[in-house]
Structure 1
Amino acid sequence: MSSIIIDEHPLLEVKDLKKYYPFKQGLFSKETGYVRAVDGLSFSVKRGETLGIVGESGCGKSTAGQMILQLLEPTEGEVWFDQRKLSGLDSNEIRKVRRDLQVIFQDPYASLNPRMKIEDIIAEPLRIHGVSNKDQLRNTVIELMEVVGLSEHQMNRYPHEFSGGQRQRVGIARALALKPKLIVCDEAVSALDVSIQAQILNLLKKLQKEYQLTYIFIAHGLATVKFISERIAVMYLGKIVELAHRDELFSNPKHPYTQSLLSAIPVSHPKEKKERIILQGDLPNPANPPGGCSFHTRCPIAKDICRSQTPQFEINVSGHGVACHFAI
């Protein structure tokens, strides 16, 4: 797959990233194959940008995010952050890099220690990295809480005393504590009510301007990703099948899978009609992916060439990339 370079020195570059999980069978637990969770991702993200990554459950979105954060070691490929190759760094070097790489998790309750007070949860990364002394720590925590819309009097409460949206604000404050350059938002709003989702998305956009943040925003729904992202990558079975600027993707989707996802977005007016593209069948088994184009088993326009040849990821002059034999 071609690497998508946005500027001369992007903040993040991912080059042919793969993650295969071997599985074993039989009496002697012999390796008989691999689950291809991520199967060759290449993209870059410039400073201050938000790249949305969208796709069905099991397509490899979160696994890709974990490899970027160095929480998972890739089977193949490279991750470059701020012109530095992360693969092969020792634990001390990775620890330093992690100050600039933070994450906001999907479940705002499971990601917070129920036995710790909010003050300690937000202060924890500052203590671990030793970037704030005891005198400054409390003031820093108060400032972070105010930035995300919480108040000082809530510092001594525990996570179970907060609503889902408030807990996610705590998670955002914790991610901001070390003043990172890149934050991976891994389904950061999918567990919240729709009205709360809007509040958190607006907060993330506001913080991006104030702190010059770069986001990778992982989600299921294209409507959510559209609101916050400049560019959107659509993943299917471990690969990016289409990547384009937000407006270009919504106005001119080229891949049949992207077209199907867009057709599933509810219309805003009861009299408005939209043709629904229904995909047949389920997501194929990543341990035994189809030959040729991985989408051909569900594609409404698949031909013989789709079953025998893997389409190349081609990028046009406007930066719109797609992997499809019949993309126009």
Structure 2
Amino acid sequence: MYQPKDSAKSPRFCGVRTFMRLEQLQTTDDIDFAVLGVPFDTAVSNRTGQRYGPQHIRDFSVLLRPYNPDQDIQIFEYCSGVDYGDIDVVPGNIHRTYDNMVEGISPLLEKSVVPIILGGDHSISLGNLRAFAKHYGPVALVHFDSHSDTWDNYYGEKYMHGTPFRRAVEEGLLDVEHSIQIGMRGPLYGPEDIEDARQLGFEVITMRECRDIGYSQVLKRIHARAADRPVFVSFDVDFVDPAYAPGTGTPEVGGPTSHEALELVRGLHGLDLVGFDVVEVLPSMDPSEITAMLASSVAYEMISLVAMKKRSRQQAQLEQHR
């Protein structure tokens, strides 16, 4: 059983920085989840530096503790996990980086380990989805973002941080009829910037609609949409209002608070969650570590969901034997 170091015995400032002070170990044995970084930012269109996002998130994550009071679960009573390290990216070459991602993530999926992937810019989601589709077939996507990332190209380039989900649909990686995007907002070049996502088959809930219907209804629609399909969750930190997540490349005002965002992630319990990513953390714009605090907490809630899924299975097995 792999779990974090006990910070009551070993101070948080001791040792190599890993997520939540987990063992840094590339193993697929006796683990339920693995945290891994993809420090790639070649595909951004404006501010750069997301390659330093994984370590920035890890640096703050040492403050996380094993009991999640909001979900009422002692995480490591139910699951085991490691910090798997980083994928070896190829700066300037997104296609070789994608190949490395598929090669690096696939062994985890073959052992039913849930990857929690720290970016990096949002282009990495295409590499993630290639690995997941190779193992599961097309997966349902639950996508939290202020942008749909379904543009056809930037500057004539097809593989950028604003294009991964169009490419994923074109490559047949997504069960798009069971996929949903939440939080779209901000100035656009035209209505097609959102309508294109709907034309591709996504259900889209804009930020204005989230406010109008309330987050409990948003969660009901997420669960109804994803149904019983294997689900990949992609969380762009610019989903959250920049008052709570300033450290990102393309912030948009008018988003949810950090509390509201965490409640939405917590509310995914009950879905067949097979993998996650948290992307677009930009340390140079995050001097007070507000965004690292949020991103590490989002990843923590994702780990909690892995533990809750395992607890639910154990409880169901006990019920069957009664």
Q: TM (normalized to structure 2)?
A: 0.32
| Larger helix proportion of the pair | 2
- Greater C-alpha radius of gyration: 1
| Larger strand proportion of the pair | 1
Q: TM (normalized to structure 1)?
A: 0.31
